[in-house]
Structure 1
Amino acid sequence: MNAPVKGSGAAGTKYEGPEIAENQGFLELDLMALYRTLRKRLGLIVAVTLGLTALVMVVVLQQTPLYTAETQVLLDRQKMQVTDMEAVMSGMPADSATVDSEVEILRSRALAARVVDRLNLMQDPEFNGKLREPSLLRWLDPRVWIGEALKLVEAERPALNQEILDRAELNSVIDSLLSRLTVSRQRLTYVINVSFVSESPEKAARIANAIADTYILDQLEAKFDATRQANDWLSRRLGELRQQVQDSERAVEIFRAENGLESLASGVTVSEQQLSELNAQLILARTALAEARAKYERARQIRASGGTIESMADVVQSTTISQLRQKQAELARELANLASRYGPRHPEVVNAEAQRRDIERQIGAEISRIIGSLQNNVSVAETRVASLEESLREIRGETGDSGQAMVQLRELEREAAANRAVYESFLNRFKETSQQQDLQVPDSRVISQATAPIEPSHPRKALSLALALVLSAMLGVGLAFLLEHLDNGIETGRDVEQVLGLPHLVSLPATPAEKGADRKVMNPQDYLLAKPLSAYSEGLRSLRSALQLSNVDNPPTVILFTSALPSEGKTTSSSSFARAAAAAGLKVVIVDCDLRHPSVHKAFGIGRPETGLVEMLAERLELSKVLVKDPKSDLDILPISTGTANPPDLLGSEQMRLLLERLRNDYDLVVLDSAPVLPVSDSRVLSRLADETVFVVRWSETPKDAAQAAIRELRLYNAAIAGVVLAVVDTAQQAKYGYGDGGYYYSKYSRYYVN
């Protein structure tokens, strides 16, 4: 029960502390501390764990089972192209932002409102709180408290119209629907999971499928609306463009007519056509003029030079000359025949000569006529060329005057052509969108329909139980460490040595009276006599041995018992220590030095005496007059009858010193029971007169800071502190506090005691 004392504790000596191996790691110390804490607070941990787990299971069993149904929607990247044209509302690009946007659309209030209306969820008590019967568990939901508070606030407001109330009720149902809906993207795919939780498995599947179907229908309607709006806009725009085309084309025709710019079938104007034809005729006329002039000049040159002109083409081609030449040839033959027959003077020859000359004259006249014709042809050609040139000049003048009009005409034509092109483009698009309106394909499709689940998804009883056990155990452990941290008591010898820096002399087990049993029958002082082999008696013997070994050469005789605060067991310890020493055959006296609240006489069951310590010191009575004999042992008691106005002066007086010297000489052991250290200074003054001071700490109750403060006060007075006694120790509880203290092994050696 006692710890070995390595230092005296008297002035000039120093306590070296407990023997702890220097090579012991901090990890081992921390693990041992954790183990001691858990073992000490095991009851609390078990109680918290079981209590909270039971509470959680009660709540879980009272909860309505919820079922989760899931459907999967795929954003389809493949587009069906029926016609070779761009869609009015093109398909969605398959990027991450688009998929996330579609997830938000599935979570939108607008889509939820359509589902509420489609499935008539306003009449479903699961979603409409106004139709739900009240339950006890609903008050565990803080939203219910908030709702009730809002109702009280709204009750003080003016009455709202029915439309606002209906809208608020619809919003409440939508909020309830959205709170049970979970929409998530499946990793990095284009698949979106739509999960819904409901009290009914069939309802969960129906609503999940309805959300997916409504989402796809919403996509189709959006495309139909976009196509219809495009057609309406194109129709209105086509009317405007058609009028613009008509106006621009009419302006072209009016301008052309006003400026004489009518076009032929070839597309050119009349002036341009005339100018072209005149140019062609002029070229031909000039060519003919050159040819006629060349013929005439040739004929004139031949005639002027005296050459024959009969070789000219016009002469050769002349029928008259050909006939005359033929007659001339026939006449020449005839003349030759006549000349040979008749001679040159024959009348027939002369007549034939005359005919020949007449024919030559006719040929010459015909040639002159041909040359005149050539000259006439030259004049006609010149006149024609001049006429054509004049006409060409007139046409060119008219063309120059209409040049500016042609520029304006072309501008009007270009504007009309542009209007016509825009009109035709819009007309083609209108026809395409009209065809596309009846053929719309959604960008998503359902790849997995939700089915009614068999097992509820909430509450998961096994998981809830496991989590409740783990979390409540963690809470219990945390609470245990918190209480351990807040625990300010001293409970083991290790605590004594580490906190107070003093030797742990002994731990005195709590007697049955101190534990609450047989309080009126047997107090601790009587218990040690009745149970001499008890752990309590052994503890007192160990205390006496420890005090004797604290100074082997000069064992202490005057021993002071004190404590930091009242009711910590110092009187019980000192009186039991004195009675145990007397029972061992020593001559012992116990002096009650608590002048303010004397209690030694009560500990031994004797009445309050008429004289005592104060009277002896003040009136110098004989010691034998004030000593009282212990009725159950040979112990002498010096009690206190009355107090004094100044206890510290009395206890520190020379008379008190002389009294202690006398008792030291007359007794083997003088035990002083004094007042607590912190409230008064009596014990501090008295500690100077004692050989050793025993500091009593009540197990698990004396605050550490109070004990430390008391030790500091005693050291200021140079008190010789022998060590600390742990009083009223619950050995069964102390055994749970861990290694390093003898109480831990109490169960193993308790058979040596007879308690």
Structure 2
Amino acid sequence: MYDADRKLADGIEAMNIPVKGSNREQPAGGSAYGAADEEGGSFTEFDIAAIYRTLRKHLGVIAGITIGLTALVLVWVFQLTPLYTANAQVLLDRQKMQVVDMQAVMSGLSPDSATVDSEVEILRSRALAGRVVAEFDLTKDPEFNSSLQSPPVFRWLDPRVWAGELISLIEADPRPIDGAMLAQRELNEVIDNFLARLSITRQGMTYVIEIGFQSESQQKAAQLANAVADTYILDQLEAKFDATRQANDWLSRRLGDLRQQVVDSERAVAIYRTQHGLEETNGLTISEQQLSELNAQLILARTDLAEAQAKYDRAKEIRTSGGSIESVADVLQSGTISQLRQKQAELARELANLSAKYGPRHPEIVNAEAQRRDIQRQIGAEIGRIMGSLQNNVSVAKTRVSSLEDSLKQIRGESGVGGQALVQLRQLEREAEANRTVYESFLNRFKETSQQSDFQTPDSRVISKATPPVSPSYPRKGQTAILALVLSAMLGVGVAFLLEHLDNGIQTGRDIEQMLGVPHLVSVPVTPVEKQANGKPMAPPDYLIAKPLSAFSESLRSLRSALQLSNVDNPPKIVLFTSALPSEGKTTTASSFARAAAASGLKVVLVDCDLRHPSVHKIFMGERRPEEGLVELLAERLSLDKVLVKDTKSELDIIPVATGTANPPDVLGSAQMKLLLQRLRDAYDLVVLDSAPVLPVSDSRVLSKLADETVFIVRWNETPRDAVQSALKELRNYDTVIAGVVLAAVDTTVQARYGYGDGGYYYGKYSRYYVN
């Protein structure tokens, strides 16, 4: 704190206490003497240097969060029980051993990804986990049954414990629980804990599945990982055995039904045949056989008829036309004709020989001619007989054809009567045949499945057994420590930027020039705690005299130089000191500035213009209150000489306030005040006015029009930015000439961490140049 506006007993002590905390640092915009840098970018623009300053500013917060959280995590990690992870690998085997060519009841695994993922889920299933839990009796293992565990010392450091307790309270069932339900709940908890330790992962896009299990025991981790793999393969075999056995049972029951259906359907066919006279020989009924035979005979008879008719017609045609009948096949084939022709030929030779010896009337020749004519007659008779035979053959063939046609018509008539019965018979036969086919198919399948029930192979095999791990997999203390350090540091940085964002104070001259748009004149450091001879804290104006080479004294000299350089040709002689709010340090700064100027050899007068809460006299006069002051002087009841108070430690003149007034703005804006300031301008080198704050009252606004320049005081890291902006806006509305802003009560040790570009940084950074 840095202010004499408070009560003297508290104010001077408070002014020497460094202000804790800091605020957001922004990109540089000006020097300690108010020379603004023309740098691009706004206050909110991303700036690496600003980020660095923010981190440096809140280094303590970042370090505290980082160290604290990291230590807390390490305490939690080191009290955890080490867990070991063992891994086994199972291959989904696509190559099947086919001993015999039989289709399996339960098909093997298809090679697609969905199937592999499904097997992964089977390995994660509660049913499989329950079998392993039952096999190893894990309900009696404290590692998996929390009711058998003793709580760890630091169990409440684990957030999961809080969550579990909270869920238990929310889901608590007020109804009484019987023993069976309690045992089931215990079993479910053990299975849940078992599954929490089990990890099932597919190795890329391969058919290999890795089974990992985590346990407090190295041996147990390997044992349970292998147990899961073995149980999974056993489950596949049992599933196949069960499926085959169920298929056999069903086929056996079904075969009995099918066998009876075959017997019934074949009996129905036999009965129907007997009832309708449809007995069969070689697969045909008697009627069908008769029709078939008659059709065959009729075809042969018609063929014979056609052949006989053709022979007869040919012979008849030759005989009618006078041709040689002997060319007819039957004539040529006749033995009698052949013998007669032979005799005729012999007789012709004999007749030729006789004709050579005898005359035509010779008896031998006559006898020979008679024999020749007899033979010719016999040949004609034989040919007539053959023609009659051909004609008779035609008649017989026609009679046979007609007879067969009549018999066929008769049998067809009889068949037409039994045709409907035959259709029904064929339907019954088809049903019997269908039943027989189904029965034989089921019988063959039953024989195959009966053989398969004794030989089954799993679809998976273990390609890598789990072995006891050497080192624990959890907790990974080194990695956890690094992660905790990084995350806590990130959290610390986040908190630092949050604090910077929420901080509404002003810390550097860069803030003043970039946010307020006015020059930063100087940063006045807070004075160290110094005791006077009477044991009371030393006021800043007294510290100025006691420590002329201190950073505090140097800042006031810098302020005077900045005011002089603000207008070299016509330096301000009447300077008004004000602030946005009370307790900003304006009175202390104005008093110290006036005493520093007087100590440099200038003739200076300090006028206390805060008619509502005057405090200048407390700094220079102690507990003694003046009897006359500014109000009496302006009322022309006293002369200037009567009102002036001489500073005992410098050549400074002071016009205090002894009594108040009902209307301070009217008094300060009166013609008498203007005349007084003109007299002081003529009589002194520098007139310093200490006025009331701008926002609460209008005194400073009225008075600023009478001053050459106004120095605005902002308390470091405390004055709200919006209050400063509002106050400066009010002063500008009165056409006030604002020389700049003084950053008061600066903790240079803290500000030295904010970076370059501010006078407070150099006061802290190079403190060896000052005698504090």
TM-score range, shorter chain: 0.7 to 0.9
- Alpha-carbon distance between aligned partners in 2 of 1:615 and 1:645, rounded to the nearest angstrom: 13
Partner of 1:706: 723
Q: CA deviation at 1:704?
A: 1.7
Secondary structure of the 1:513 match is coil
Q: Identify which of 492, 507, 511 aligns with 1:476.
A: 492
Q: Identify which of 88, 94, 98 aligns with 1:81.
A: 98
Partner of 1:425: 441
- Alpha-carbon distance between aligned partners in 1 of 2:545 and 2:238, rounded to the nearest angstrom: 102
TM-score, length basis structure 2 = 0.79
Q: Identify which of 488, 495, 513 aligns with 2:529.
A: 513
CA contact (8 A) 2:33 2:558 kept: no
CA contact (8 A) 2:32 2:523 kept: no
Partner of 1:729: 746
Could you say which structure has the larger radius of gyration? 1
- Alpha-carbon distance between aligned partners in 2 of 1:625 and 1:424, rounded to the nearest angstrom: 141
Task: Establish whether residue 55 from structure 1 lines up as the match of residue 78 from structure 2.
Answer: no
Task: Establish whether residue 498 from structure 1 lines up as the match of residue 493 from structure 2.
Answer: no
CA contact (8 A) 1:559 1:691 kept: yes
CA contact (8 A) 1:512 1:519 kept: no
Task: Establish whether residue 65 from structure 1 lines up as the match of residue 96 from structure 2.
Answer: no
Partner of 1:20: 38
- Alpha-carbon distance between aligned partners in 1 of 2:43 and 2:697, rounded to the nearest angstrom: 41
Task: Could you tell me which runs of 5 or more consecutive residues in structure 1 were left unpaired when the two chains were aligned.
Answer: 7-16, 299-310, 317-373
- Paired letter, 2:203: Q
In the superposition, relative to structure 1, how do residues 262 and 619 fare at CA in structure 2: closer, same or farther (>3 Å)?
same
Partner of 1:211: 228
- Paired residues for 1:298-317 under 5 Å: none
Q: Identify which of 126, 134, 137 aligns with 1:117.
A: 134
- Alpha-carbon distance between aligned partners in 1 of 2:603 and 2:713, rounded to the nearest angstrom: 23
CA contact (8 A) 1:513 1:524 kept: no
Q: Identify which of 580, 583, 586 aligns with 2:599.
A: 583
- Alpha-carbon distance between aligned partners in 1 of 2:121 and 2:297, rounded to the nearest angstrom: 83
Secondary structure of the 1:604 match is helix
In the superposition, relative to structure 1, how do residues 411 and 631 fare at CA in structure 2: closer, same or farther (>3 Å)?
same
Task: Establish whether residue 403 from structure 1 lines up as the match of residue 422 from structure 2.
Answer: no
- Alpha-carbon distance between aligned partners in 2 of 1:212 and 1:391, rounded to the nearest angstrom: 85
1:319-339 superposed Cα distances (whole Å, 9 cap, x missing partner)? xxxxxxxxxxxxxxxxxxxxx
- Alpha-carbon distance between aligned partners in 1 of 2:612 and 2:504, rounded to the nearest angstrom: 28
- Report the more deviating stretch, 249-258 or 406-415: 406-415
Partner of 1:674: 691
In the superposition, relative to structure 1, how do residues 655 and 213 fare at CA in structure 2: closer, same or farther (>3 Å)?
same
Q: CA deviation at 1:462?
A: 0.9
CA contact (8 A) 1:490 1:701 kept: yes
1:123-179 superposed Cα distances (whole Å, 9 cap, x missing partner)? 122222222222344334455445444555666722133333322222222222222
- Alpha-carbon distance between aligned partners in 2 of 1:81 and 1:471, rounded to the nearest angstrom: 58
Task: Establish whether residue 570 from structure 1 lines up as the match of residue 586 from structure 2.
Answer: yes
Q: Identify which of 452, 458, 470 aligns with 2:468.
A: 452
Q: CA deviation at 1:18?
A: 0.8
- Alpha-carbon distance between aligned partners in 2 of 1:665 and 1:277, rounded to the nearest angstrom: 164
- Paired letter, 2:266: E
- Report the more deviating stretch, 482-491 or 395-404: 395-404
1:713-739 superposed Cα distances (whole Å, 9 cap, x missing partner)? 111111121111122222222222122
In the superposition, relative to structure 1, how do residues 29 and 96 fare at CA in structure 2: closer, same or farther (>3 Å)?
closer
- Alpha-carbon distance between aligned partners in 2 of 1:515 and 1:708, rounded to the nearest angstrom: 37
- Alpha-carbon distance between aligned partners in 1 of 2:478 and 2:334, rounded to the nearest angstrom: 136
- Alpha-carbon distance between aligned partners in 1 of 2:304 and 2:742, rounded to the nearest angstrom: 156
Task: Establish whether residue 240 from structure 1 lines up as the match of residue 257 from structure 2.
Answer: yes
- Paired residues for 1:257-272 under 5 Å: 257-264=274-281, 266-272=282-288
CA contact (8 A) 2:551 2:763 kept: no
CA contact (8 A) 2:752 2:765 kept: no
TM-score, length basis structure 1 = 0.81
Q: CA deviation at 1:42?
A: 2.1
In the superposition, relative to structure 1, how do residues 416 and 534 fare at CA in structure 2: closer, same or farther (>3 Å)?
same
- Paired letter, 2:200: V
Partner of 1:370: none
CA contact (8 A) 2:197 2:215 kept: yes
- Paired letter, 2:592: S
- Paired residues for 1:559-638 under 5 Å: 559-606=575-622, 607-618=624-635, 620-638=637-655
In the superposition, relative to structure 1, how do residues 188 and 18 fare at CA in structure 2: closer, same or farther (>3 Å)?
same
Partner of 2:213: 196
In the superposition, relative to structure 1, how do residues 650 and 269 fare at CA in structure 2: closer, same or farther (>3 Å)?
same
1:534-559 superposed Cα distances (whole Å, 9 cap, x missing partner)? 22222222222222232233322221
- Alpha-carbon distance between aligned partners in 2 of 1:526 and 1:682, rounded to the nearest angstrom: 28
Partner of 2:243: 226
Task: Establish whether residue 178 from structure 1 lines up as the match of residue 195 from structure 2.
Answer: yes
Q: CA deviation at 1:520?
A: 2.2
- Alpha-carbon distance between aligned partners in 1 of 2:767 and 2:532, rounded to the nearest angstrom: 21
1:196-244 superposed Cα distances (whole Å, 9 cap, x missing partner)? 2222222222222222212111111111121112111111111111111
Q: CA deviation at 1:397?
A: 5.2
Q: CA deviation at 1:401?
A: 3.8
- Paired residues for 1:625-704 under 5 Å: 625-704=642-721
Partner of 1:106: 123
Secondary structure of the 1:184 match is strand
CA contact (8 A) 1:593 1:674 kept: yes
Secondary structure of the 1:158 match is coil
Q: CA deviation at 1:272?
A: 4.7
- Paired letter, 1:253: A
CA contact (8 A) 2:294 2:404 kept: yes
- Alpha-carbon distance between aligned partners in 1 of 2:459 and 2:671, rounded to the nearest angstrom: 109
Q: Identify which of 442, 445, 461 aligns with 2:477.
A: 461
Q: CA deviation at 1:313?
A: 8.2
CA contact (8 A) 1:514 1:728 kept: no
In the superposition, relative to structure 1, how do residues 538 and 391 fare at CA in structure 2: closer, same or farther (>3 Å)?
closer
Secondary structure of the 2:483 match is helix
- Paired letter, 1:634: E
Partner of 1:336: none
Q: CA deviation at 1:405?
A: 2.8
- Paired letter, 1:710: A
CA contact (8 A) 1:512 1:518 kept: no
Secondary structure of the 1:402 match is helix
Overall identity of the aligned pairs, in %? 70
CA contact (8 A) 2:33 2:522 kept: no
- Alpha-carbon distance between aligned partners in 2 of 1:29 and 1:670, rounded to the nearest angstrom: 43
Q: Identify which of 139, 144, 149 aligns with 2:156.
A: 139
Secondary structure of the 1:238 match is helix
Q: CA deviation at 1:686?
A: 1.2
Partner of 2:348: none
Task: Could you tell me which runs of 5 or more consecutive residues in structure 2 were left unpaired when the two chains were aligned.
Answer: 1-29, 316-332, 339-388
- Alpha-carbon distance between aligned partners in 2 of 1:312 and 1:480, rounded to the nearest angstrom: 143
What RMSD in Å do the two structures reach over aligned CA positions? 3.7
- Alpha-carbon distance between aligned partners in 2 of 1:131 and 1:147, rounded to the nearest angstrom: 17
In the superposition, relative to structure 1, how do residues 275 and 717 fare at CA in structure 2: closer, same or farther (>3 Å)?
closer
More RCO (CA 8 Å, sep 6+) = 2
Q: CA deviation at 1:77?
A: 0.6
Secondary structure of the 2:280 match is coil
Partner of 1:37: 54
- Alpha-carbon distance between aligned partners in 2 of 1:95 and 1:517, rounded to the nearest angstrom: 95
Partner of 1:14: none
CA contact (8 A) 2:43 2:515 kept: no
Q: CA deviation at 1:741?
A: 2.4
- Paired letter, 2:496: A
Q: CA deviation at 1:411?
A: 2.1
CA contact (8 A) 1:561 1:671 kept: yes
Task: Establish whether residue 720 from structure 1 lines up as the match of residue 751 from structure 2.
Answer: no
1:12-63 superposed Cα distances (whole Å, 9 cap, x missing partner)? xxxxx613356x9999971221222222222222222222211111111111
1:577-605 superposed Cα distances (whole Å, 9 cap, x missing partner)? 11112222222221111122211122124
In the superposition, relative to structure 1, how do residues 650 and 408 fare at CA in structure 2: closer, same or farther (>3 Å)?
same
